[in-house]
Structure 1
């Protein structure tokens, strides 16, 4: 195996990636009150959402340790890439970099690069797929790194949430703002800045109008869509995700489209009914 791609568990794996030996998920841990949940292949989304809804407290996540990343870097693969949740949102990136440094200190030189996704969820998946594409095209390690970093700079992340409750619990919205938004049924259209932090792109009254606004923003901003992959992840709302896919296809052509259900960390932040789109 000439290469290995490690993705923290905020990134969703398609069924193909789950079976591909080149790809490895490194799990974060989630906590709801006294419940500790490992975000791995056994993650139970329905049970997790039930626990979050029943708790007055803020659900939390903790990133993999540097030692866990170092363990995954210890492989026969010549080229190793790690893709992490945005460094503006999690310590996963810094943990992976520390794991890389530990590997070099204890085991010597190796081609290892850690990509800060500046995104989350299905955005990490797209970055991992870009690295795979470069490797299978026969690119050398440094060319892969350069090409994927350029891809990250041109990638855009969008999301609409059914509920602001998790943002409220995490302190990203005041109780009053969350209450007013809830009372007026206002749904924000959110995105990621070039540094990977969260920003608001717009808002609308009602989830369908907010999704329409999100799709209009995507159409306005996407360039050269025929050569890009549209990726959509959803939290317990497959019909909504399919609607977004079909409506965008009426307005744009894409090289490919990926639909996934959110994994644990993405479920924590998206909450029931959330939609994330990356292109």
Structure 2
């Protein structure tokens, strides 16, 4: 803790679409603000009580499509009320969720009460481990002694450089919840055609490619990852998977065969990402 006295204190708040690293779970500098998931009239809070297996079983058994609702501005305001001098929030892409606007409003409310506080809200323009990597970047900047303003600039530039890719067994939840509204007509799932999806720079979802069967789609996704990642030796890549650790491990090996990376993280999707990715989905962000 010696350095901490010289360096300013910080706190990072991530909405629960972002996966927390194990190290962060007991650390008061990291807080997850939960979204609420609704399956057939039952509300499930996406916090440490979330159980992926039972959730997926409920979704499979329910004829209605599950839905998510974002945290209230008050929830963010409560999270912003802390001793830390520098407070950062990282949210789901503003194009996919109201979480970003909710956090901005929470910030406005906090600053009305504590005008001297430094609070910044990052629109990840991504989701899942994209948010995790942004939180990791904030941590690196803070730990290296950067000022609040330098950290914000560095992290915004990092978000600009980030790429998000995913391949899902099932796109129905995204489709039925209107998250694919900007995607051109997708091929019929009856043909076993699996689209390779990505996030645009604005944070909407787009289709990059397609392949027959999930394994071929994963191979194509790796091609995109390799092609789009400049200066990969300095980058951390993250994979999140929904209940398919073996698939994530194969994907990790395939990526490492093709590119140098500073580090590679593999995480299991939390609640929101489990809901949208569905059983068997994988997400890669670098």
User: Normalised by the size of structure 1, how large is the TM-score?
Assistant: 0.96
Contact conserved, 1:78 with 1:110, CA < 8 A, in 2? yes
Structure 2 counterpart SS, 1:152: helix
User: Which among 15, 39, 59 is matched to residue 22 of structure 2?
Assistant: 15
Deviations 1:161-180 (A, max 9, x none): 01123234335679xx77x6
Match of residue 225 from structure 2: 218
- The reply to whether residue 141 of structure 1 matches residue 166 of structure 2 is no
Match of residue 274 from structure 1: 281
Q: Which runs of 5+ in 2 are unaligned?
A: none
Across the aligned residues of Structure 1 and Structure 2, the Cα RMSD in angstroms comes to 1.4
Deviations 1:225-262 (A, max 9, x none): 00000100000000000000000100001001111000
Contact conserved, 1:181 with 1:187, CA < 8 A, in 2? no
Deviates more, 1:164-173 or 1:71-80: 164-173
Q: Distance in 2 between matches of 1:243 and 1:268?
A: 23
Q: Distance in 2 between matches of 1:139 and 1:167?
A: 38
Q: Distance in 1 between matches of 2:142 and 2:156?
A: 14
Q: Distance in 1 between matches of 2:179 and 2:165?
A: 17
Q: Distance in 1 between matches of 2:224 and 2:188?
A: 21
Structure 2 counterpart SS, 1:20: coil
Contact conserved, 1:4 with 1:81, CA < 8 A, in 2? yes
Q: Which runs of 5+ in 1 are unaligned?
A: none
Change (3 A) 1:69 1:168: closer
Compute the displacement of 1:20 (Å).
2.4
Compute the displacement of 1:56 (Å).
2.1
Q: Distance in 2 between matches of 1:33 and 1:136?
A: 44
Count of residues in correspondence between the two structures: 276
Match of residue 111 from structure 2: 104
Match of residue 242 from structure 2: 235
Deviations 1:196-236 (A, max 9, x none): 00000000010000000000011111100000001000000
Deviation >6 Å, runs of 4+? none
User: Which among 37, 40, 55 is matched to residue 30 of structure 1?
Assistant: 37
